[in-house]
Amino acid sequence: MSQITNQKQASLLRVSEQGRVMTIAIHNPPANFLTAAIMAELNQQLVALESRQDIGAVIITSAVEGVFLTHFDVDDIELAFTTIKENHFTILEKEPVFLNFWNKGCKYFNVLGPDGERLEFNEIIK
């Protein structure tokens, strides 16, 4: 069994290395919502990897048992929708959908991934 080396824990990512493999586990319990803060931390990790020759593979997984990601929790759903549309991703709705949940409601939309997976973007209106 190989030894895990250079393990460190960021606030939302748990990063470990074993040989030439880096594992990044997203840790945002209980539902593992993807957030802009997680994306920023993930971006920092990936930018740092550009100068590393000792890592040959990166695994992105969940540190929350039983769930990978629930949805992307955003602060500005309209901006997220526009940005994703401008980048030519496949959006399943024509515009963010309003639901009368919570105090003032929420809006969401789904993006279709390359393997048919769906990623939901959601904003709880405050």
Residues 55-67: pLDDT tens digits?
999 999 999 998 8
Q: Which residues fall within 8 angstroms of residue 32, CB to CB, at 6 or more apart?
A: 26, 62, 64, 67, 68, 69, 70
Q: What confidence category does residue 4 fall into, taking pLDDT thresholds of 50, 70 and 90?
A: very low
At 5 the pLDDT is 43
d(CA 119, CA 51): 30
Q: Which residues fall within 8 angstroms of residue 113, CB to CB, at 6 or more apart?
A: 119
Do you find a cis peptide bond into 30, omega within 30 degrees of 0? yes
The two three-digit tokens of residue 92, written as one number? 């399943």
Helix/strand/coil (H, E, C) string of 62-78? ECCCCCCCCCEECCCHH
Residues 94-125 have pLDDT tens digits of 999 999 987 889 999 999 987 888 888 998 88
The two three-digit tokens of residue 44, written as one number? 């920092």
The residue among 36, 119, 32 whose CA lies nearest residue 109 is: 119
Residue 85 predicted with pLDDT over 70: yes
DSSP letter, residue 44 = H
Provide the 3-class DSSP secondary structure of residue 92: coil
Percent of the chain with pLDDT over 90: 41
At 39 the pLDDT is 82
At 3 the pLDDT is 42
The two three-digit tokens of residue 105, written as one number? 């409601």
Averaging pLDDT over each range in 11-25, 30-44, 72-86, which range is the top one? 11-25
